[in-house]
Amino acid sequence: MSLLAAIRPDSWDLPLFLHIIGAMTLVGATTLAATSLAAAWRSGSLALTRLGYRALLLGVIPAWIVMRLSAEWIADKEGLEDADLAWIDIGFIAAEPVLLLVIVATVLAGLAVRRAARGDAAGPSVGARVATGLVSFALLAYLVAVWAMTTKPT
C-alpha cells in the first residue's frame, strides 16, 4: 500500500491533509474535554467544567465538521463513495452517531457550567457526570476509527 501512497495524485493532498488535521484535532479536543470533565467531576471545579465545555464547543464540534467534510471530499476524489471497505465503514460508524452524543454532552456540560456559576450546585451536577461518560465513549469510538484508518483492516 505504501507504493500506492507514493504515486497518489497531488490533487488529493489538501483534502487528505485537512482530514488528518481534523481527526487529530478531534481526538485531542475530545481528550481534553474528557479529562477536564472527569477532573471536574471529582473536584467540583467550575474552571475545569468550563474548560471541558469549551473544549467540546470550540474544539470537538468544529474539528468534527472539518474531519467529516474533508472525509467526503477525499472519498469523492479517490472514488470511494460506494466502496465496501471495512475501514471506511468503521470511520462512518464512529463519526455519524457519535456526533449526537457529543452534542448532548456539550449541552449537558453547558448546563452544568451555568448551574455551577449561579451557585445552584454544591458539587458536580449529574449533567456533568453524564457528559463525562458520553465524551469518554466518544473518545473510545474516535480511537477505534484512528486504528481503522491507520491499519486499514479488510
pTM of the model as a whole: 0.85
Instruction: Give residue-wise pLDDT tens across range 61-89.
Output: 999 999 999 988 988 887 777 777 888 88
Instruction: Give residue-wise pLDDT tens across range 124-136.
Output: 578 888 999 999 9
CB 37 within 8 A of CB 135: yes
CB-based contacts of 44, cutoff 8 Å, min separation 6: 122, 123, 124
Instruction: Give residue-wise pLDDT tens across range 86-118.
Output: 888 888 888 889 999 999 999 999 998 888 888
